[in-house]
Amino acid sequence: MAVFISRQSTSLSQADIQIKMIKKIRIGTRESQLALWQANLVKSLLKHQGIESELVTIKSEGDLDLSTPLYAMGVQGIFTRSLDQALLNNKIDLAVHSMKDVPVQLPSGIREAAILERDNPYDLLVPHPSKSNFSKGPSIIASSSLRRKAQWLHRYPTDNIEPIRGNVNTRLKKLAASEWRGAIFAAAGLERIGLRPSNAEQLDWMIPAPAQGAILVVCRIQDENIVEACRPFHHQETAFCVKVERDFLAGLLGGCSTPIGALAVISGDEIFLRGNLLDSSGIKMISVEKRISLELASSLGLAAAHELLRNGGDEIVKQKQHA
């Protein structure tokens, strides 16, 4: 498609020379089963090209504090900053992130090396594994995300949301030991490591976090040979969609403490974007939908954000800034 701008690269022969000169690549990753799965995927993609690599595990701030709700921690990049620091300190050569955790502005000195083809972007409601009957009245749902909390309460205002922290495995164990009706998870996380329960309900009505389901590989800005090594598994369509979503997020000045959803999907020669912004209680929600030709979509995310702000979203943003 004409809208996808190919990366500038050297000739094939020169690229081959660059790749052969790469030493064993150190891939930085968090320690969770899901993070290791994602890092091993990148490792296998590099090995397919004859490039050897090894995993280096690093704890993130988000892994060390498992009690404070993410939206109450008040920082961006809580799951990515430690890996980025290791990259800048030359302790690793690549870092593998769940892209929804990555701030829209990458740290100075770090660049995108590849965005892998996206998996299921939606959220799932995972019911309690042993309780099939619940008393009538409000239910208790667990979620670590303010976005999920706000969208759920907008749809089910009498329910209660309990915060839940930890990796996927830890949260599933907490759910099993609880009195909750269920907990909300990213579908991609459960599906990648084979833990999606058969009775999980996909929440198609819930707009996911920008870039949810996508994996981002980053490297130091000067490491052109690393970028060249990752070029074969960079997925242009996914990259374009998540750029639109993250432009939408940036246009609303959003982060982990702001309930913002965005999902862009390409169909033929068009792209369809759904986005929303809610207050923390879920009472007020402003939504936007845009369908446009791919050739005209380079500024779609920002245009949709500005439209949403004009239609009442600016009031929610101002309330958040003065909270």
Residue 63 counted as domain residue: yes
Q: How far apart are CA 137 and CA 71, in angstroms?
A: 27
Q: Are residues 174 and 300 in the same domain?
A: no
Residue 85 counted as domain residue: yes
Residue 5 counted as domain residue: no
Residue 290 counted as domain residue: yes
Residue 208 counted as domain residue: no
Q: Are residues 113 and 220 in the same domain?
A: yes
Q: Are residues 230 and 89 in the same domain?
A: yes
pLDDT, position 70: 45
Q: Are residues 74 and 94 in the same domain?
A: yes
Q: How far apart are CA 47 and CA 180, in angstroms?
A: 43
Ramachandran area for residue 256 (φ above 0: left; ψ -120 to 50: alpha; else beta): alpha
Q: 293 with 269: CB under 8 angstroms?
A: yes
Q: What's the gap between Cα 281 and its chain centre?
A: 23
Q: Are residues 128 and 150 in the same domain?
A: yes
Q: Are residues 21 and 99 in the same domain?
A: yes
Q: 151 with 278: CB under 8 angstroms?
A: yes
Rg (CA), the chain: 20
> Domain range spanning residue 138?
123-202
Q: How far apart are CA 306 and CA 159, in angstroms?
A: 32
Residue 292 counted as domain residue: yes
Which residues have a Cβ under 8 Å from the Cβ of 60 and sit 6 or more positions away?
30, 78, 79, 80, 81, 82, 83
Query: What Å distances lie between residue 52 and 36, 49, 58, CA to CA?
Result: 17, 9, 20
For 292, phi then psi, to 5°, come to: -150, 155
Six-digit token string for 155: 């749809």
Q: What is the CATH number of the domain that holds 255?
A: 3.30.160.40
Q: Are residues 28 and 109 in the same domain?
A: yes
All residue ranges of the chain with pLDDT < 70 are 1-22, 60-77, 131-137, 254-256, 322-323
Residue with tokens 């619940």: 134
Residue 159 counted as domain residue: yes
Q: Are residues 42 and 176 in the same domain?
A: no
pLDDT, position 254: 66
Maximum CA pair distance of the chain? Answer: 68
pLDDT, position 257: 72
pTM over 0.75: yes
pLDDT, position 46: 97
Residue 209 counted as domain residue: no
Q: Are residues 85 and 134 in the same domain?
A: no
Q: Are residues 90 and 177 in the same domain?
A: no
Q: What is the CATH number of the domain that holds 22?
A: 3.40.190.10
Q: How many domains does the chain have?
A: 3
Q: Are residues 84 and 132 in the same domain?
A: no
Q: Are residues 81 and 176 in the same domain?
A: no
Q: Which residues does the annotation mark as catalytic?
A: 101
Query: What Å distances lie between residue 202 and 120, 199, 246, CA to CA?
Result: 10, 10, 23
